[in-house]
Structure 1
């Protein structure tokens, strides 16, 4: 009888179908790249988030000028216009239009129409020995400002 039970046990083990190998674990999801937050009370300085260095320079750039000093940081179609008297700046949403050699962003903010035009060209800020590769004009209400531009670093 013991021999019969042992034989049946061996037959059952031999007839069991092989089990497929376990599915491999999926790779972990990459962590999202997040731009560092701008400290409260400070305007963005046109810096790119890590890993974004190769983004089209006319998506993230700054336009600026002297006499009077002014600065416009641009990310896509959002402008942040600042001056020495208003370093926090004013954020404005505009509409982008591609130009043959640059970009134009139009809109209105607080009842004032604005247009920022940045085109390729050699520009000097007039105060340093620096030469820039973009020429800019910024009209905001009755202000008409001229200056240079550069891709965000």
Structure 2
């Protein structure tokens, strides 16, 4: 239970700290008046992925499918969506461990696939931190394999 609370705090800190740039990075809005992140609608399907170790998370509404090379079909978990000032957060539980994924705007380059993604992804499963990139069904990646 403590680890789950720690994961939630970490997720809120990551997403919330990204909003500080909007507050103090030249924005004309005063602190506390920063709008909630709304660049990804709740109807968009979000895909986040990372390398070494390889992982993939596909989020549709409140359902997330997490897959790895060892489990290609993936494991489905229920997640709660949080829209902060600087991005989105998704919280759930995977195999008894806290699962927290932050998706934030910003170019993310994957040199293994020669692709550029519109979002970065930060994933924690229990105490393990993984980084990656993300895109949606309406905000796609560019580069090899793009439509």
Range class of TM-score, shorter chain:
0.5 to 0.7
Larger helix percent: 2
Tell me how far 1:116 sits from its aligned partner: 0.6
Q: In 2, distance between residues paired with 1:78 and 1:87?
A: 17
Instruction: Tell whether the 8 Å contact from 1:82 to 1:89 is kept in structure 2 after alignment.
Output: yes
Tell me how far 1:60 sits from its aligned partner: 1.1
**1:61 maps to which residue?**
46
Q: Which runs of 4+ in 1 moved over 2 A?
A: 55-59
**1:107 maps to which residue?**
92
**2:58 maps to which residue?**
73
Give the TM-score of the pair, scaled to structure 1: 0.59
Gaps of 5+ in 1: 1-54
Instruction: Tell whether the 8 Å contact from 1:57 to 1:152 is kept in structure 2 after alignment.
Output: no
**1:14 maps to which residue?**
none
5 Å matches for 1:2-151? Answer: 56=41, 59-151=44-136
What is the alpha-carbon root mean square deviation over aligned residues? 1.9
Q: Deviations over 1:88-117 (max 9, x none)?
A: 111111111102232101122331101010
Q: In 2, distance between residues paired with 1:88 and 1:121?
A: 29
Residue 104 to residue 58, structure 1, CA distance change in 2 (3 Å): farther
Corresponding residue pairs, total: 99
Q: In 1, distance between residues paired with 2:89 and 2:126?
A: 16
Q: In 2, distance between residues paired with 1:132 and 1:114?
A: 22
Gaps of 5+ in 2: 1-39, 139-147
Give the TM-score of the pair, scaled to structure 2: 0.61
Tell me how far 1:58 sits from its aligned partner: 7.2
Residue 57 to residue 135, structure 1, CA distance change in 2 (3 Å): farther
Q: Which has the higher contact order (CA 8 A, sep 6+)?
A: 2
